[in-house]
Amino acid sequence: MNLRLLSAIGIMALAFTACGEKMPAASTAPGSTLTGTWKLAYSKMIKNGDTTSTFPVAGREMIKLFNGSHFAFFQHDLSKGTDTSNAVYSSGAGTYVLSGDKYEEHLQYCSYRGWEDKHFSFTLELHNDTLIQRGIEKIDSLQVNHEIIEAYIRLR
Protein backbone atom coordinates (compact mmCIF):
# COMPACT_ATOMS: atom_id res chain seq x y z
CA MET A 1 0.00 0.00 0.00
CA ASN A 2 2.78 2.46 0.83
CA LEU A 3 4.43 1.64 -2.50
CA ARG A 4 1.20 2.50 -4.37
CA LEU A 5 0.88 5.75 -2.41
CA LEU A 6 4.50 6.66 -3.15
CA SER A 7 3.98 5.86 -6.83
CA ALA A 8 0.86 8.03 -6.96
CA ILE A 9 2.66 10.91 -5.21
CA GLY A 10 5.61 10.52 -7.59
CA ILE A 11 3.35 10.62 -10.66
CA MET A 12 1.53 13.69 -9.34
CA ALA A 13 4.82 15.45 -8.56
CA LEU A 14 6.07 14.67 -12.06
CA ALA A 15 2.86 16.02 -13.59
CA PHE A 16 3.01 19.22 -11.53
CA THR A 17 6.68 19.70 -12.41
CA ALA A 18 5.97 19.27 -16.11
CA CYS A 19 3.08 21.76 -15.93
CA GLY A 20 5.17 24.18 -13.91
CA GLU A 21 7.91 24.21 -16.55
CA LYS A 22 5.47 24.99 -19.35
CA MET A 23 3.37 27.66 -17.62
CA PRO A 24 6.06 30.34 -17.05
CA ALA A 25 7.06 30.29 -20.72
CA ALA A 26 3.43 30.60 -21.80
CA SER A 27 2.51 33.25 -19.23
CA THR A 28 5.58 35.49 -19.23
CA ALA A 29 7.11 35.32 -22.72
CA PRO A 30 4.57 35.87 -25.51
CA GLY A 31 6.91 34.83 -28.35
CA SER A 32 5.22 33.91 -31.62
CA THR A 33 1.83 33.64 -29.85
CA LEU A 34 1.62 37.44 -30.08
CA THR A 35 0.70 37.24 -33.77
CA GLY A 36 -3.00 37.87 -34.29
CA THR A 37 -5.86 40.23 -33.52
CA TRP A 38 -6.52 41.50 -29.99
CA LYS A 39 -9.42 43.55 -28.62
CA LEU A 40 -8.79 46.07 -25.85
CA ALA A 41 -10.67 45.02 -22.72
CA TYR A 42 -9.41 47.74 -20.37
CA SER A 43 -6.70 50.31 -19.98
CA LYS A 44 -5.44 52.42 -17.12
CA MET A 45 -3.12 55.39 -16.98
CA ILE A 46 -1.01 56.16 -13.93
CA LYS A 47 0.27 59.73 -13.67
CA ASN A 48 1.74 61.37 -10.57
CA GLY A 49 0.52 58.46 -8.46
CA ASP A 50 -3.09 58.79 -9.64
CA THR A 51 -4.70 55.92 -11.57
CA THR A 52 -7.36 56.68 -14.16
CA SER A 53 -9.38 54.13 -16.09
CA THR A 54 -9.17 55.14 -19.75
CA PHE A 55 -11.03 52.20 -21.29
CA PRO A 56 -13.64 50.83 -21.70
CA VAL A 57 -15.52 53.84 -22.97
CA ALA A 58 -19.19 53.29 -23.74
CA GLY A 59 -19.81 53.08 -27.48
CA ARG A 60 -16.15 52.58 -28.50
CA GLU A 61 -13.91 49.67 -29.37
CA MET A 62 -10.24 49.21 -30.09
CA ILE A 63 -8.24 46.40 -31.67
CA LYS A 64 -4.52 45.80 -32.00
CA LEU A 65 -2.95 43.59 -34.65
CA PHE A 66 0.47 41.93 -34.63
CA ASN A 67 2.39 40.07 -37.29
CA GLY A 68 6.03 38.98 -37.02
CA SER A 69 7.46 42.51 -37.18
CA HIS A 70 4.67 45.11 -37.24
CA PHE A 71 1.74 46.21 -35.10
CA ALA A 72 -1.29 48.40 -35.78
CA PHE A 73 -4.09 49.68 -33.60
CA PHE A 74 -7.48 51.14 -34.44
CA GLN A 75 -10.07 52.75 -32.18
CA HIS A 76 -13.45 54.06 -33.26
CA ASP A 77 -16.89 54.85 -32.00
CA LEU A 78 -19.60 52.32 -32.72
CA SER A 79 -22.06 54.98 -33.94
CA LYS A 80 -19.90 55.58 -37.03
CA GLY A 81 -19.44 59.23 -36.12
CA THR A 82 -23.15 60.06 -35.90
CA ASP A 83 -22.99 60.71 -32.12
CA THR A 84 -20.90 63.87 -32.12
CA SER A 85 -20.33 63.70 -28.37
CA ASN A 86 -18.60 60.32 -28.76
CA ALA A 87 -17.28 60.45 -32.34
CA VAL A 88 -13.69 59.26 -32.51
CA TYR A 89 -11.29 57.53 -34.81
CA SER A 90 -7.63 56.96 -34.01
CA SER A 91 -5.02 54.65 -35.40
CA GLY A 92 -1.33 53.96 -35.39
CA ALA A 93 1.16 51.47 -36.69
CA GLY A 94 4.83 50.68 -36.79
CA THR A 95 7.45 48.08 -36.10
CA TYR A 96 8.21 46.22 -32.91
CA VAL A 97 10.89 44.04 -31.39
CA LEU A 98 10.01 41.40 -28.81
CA SER A 99 12.67 39.77 -26.65
CA GLY A 100 11.22 37.55 -23.96
CA ASP A 101 8.68 39.78 -22.22
CA LYS A 102 10.41 43.03 -23.31
CA TYR A 103 8.47 44.73 -26.09
CA GLU A 104 9.71 47.83 -27.96
CA GLU A 105 7.42 49.76 -30.30
CA HIS A 106 8.49 52.24 -32.95
CA LEU A 107 5.33 54.19 -33.76
CA GLN A 108 5.82 55.23 -37.38
CA TYR A 109 2.24 56.27 -38.24
CA CYS A 110 -0.33 57.83 -35.94
CA SER A 111 -3.49 59.87 -36.30
CA TYR A 112 -2.08 61.99 -33.44
CA ARG A 113 0.87 63.22 -35.49
CA GLY A 114 2.97 64.37 -32.52
CA TRP A 115 3.29 60.71 -31.51
CA GLU A 116 4.87 59.66 -34.83
CA ASP A 117 8.47 58.44 -34.95
CA LYS A 118 8.54 57.72 -31.20
CA HIS A 119 9.87 54.66 -29.39
CA PHE A 120 8.15 53.09 -26.38
CA SER A 121 9.28 50.26 -24.10
CA PHE A 122 6.80 47.90 -22.51
CA THR A 123 6.57 44.60 -20.71
CA LEU A 124 4.15 42.01 -22.08
CA GLU A 125 2.49 39.17 -20.21
CA LEU A 126 0.42 36.49 -21.88
CA HIS A 127 -2.12 34.53 -19.85
CA ASN A 128 -4.03 32.15 -22.13
CA ASP A 129 -6.09 34.50 -24.36
CA THR A 130 -5.23 37.68 -22.41
CA LEU A 131 -2.33 39.98 -23.26
CA ILE A 132 -1.24 42.60 -20.72
CA GLN A 133 0.95 45.47 -21.90
CA ARG A 134 2.56 47.77 -19.34
CA GLY A 135 5.05 50.58 -19.71
CA ILE A 136 5.88 54.26 -19.82
CA GLU A 137 4.75 56.62 -22.55
CA LYS A 138 6.93 59.71 -22.50
CA ILE A 139 7.01 62.50 -25.08
CA ASP A 140 8.60 65.67 -23.72
CA SER A 141 7.40 67.91 -26.57
CA LEU A 142 3.77 66.98 -25.78
CA GLN A 143 4.24 66.93 -21.98
CA VAL A 144 3.23 63.26 -21.96
CA ASN A 145 4.73 61.20 -19.14
CA HIS A 146 2.63 58.41 -17.68
CA GLU A 147 2.46 54.66 -17.24
CA ILE A 148 -0.14 52.63 -19.10
CA ILE A 149 -1.56 49.21 -18.40
CA GLU A 150 -3.62 47.67 -21.17
CA ALA A 151 -5.33 44.28 -21.29
CA TYR A 152 -6.32 42.72 -24.59
CA ILE A 153 -8.39 39.62 -25.34
CA ARG A 154 -7.40 37.50 -28.34
CA LEU A 155 -9.92 37.53 -31.16
CA ARG A 156 -7.85 35.43 -33.62
- CA–CA distance, 121 with 134 (Å, rounded to integer): 9
131: burial class by Cβ within 10 Å (0-12, 13-18, 19+)?
buried
Tell me the pLDDT tens digit for each residue of 50-61: 999 999 999 999
The secondary element (H helix, E strand) that includes residue 145 is strand 144-154
Please tell me whether the overall predicted TM-score, pTM, comes out greater than 0.85 for this model.
Answer: no
Average pLDDT over residues 119-130: 96
pLDDT tens for residues 41-87? 999 999 999 999 999 999 999 999 999 999 999 999 999 999 888 89
30-154 maps to CATH 2.40.128.490: yes
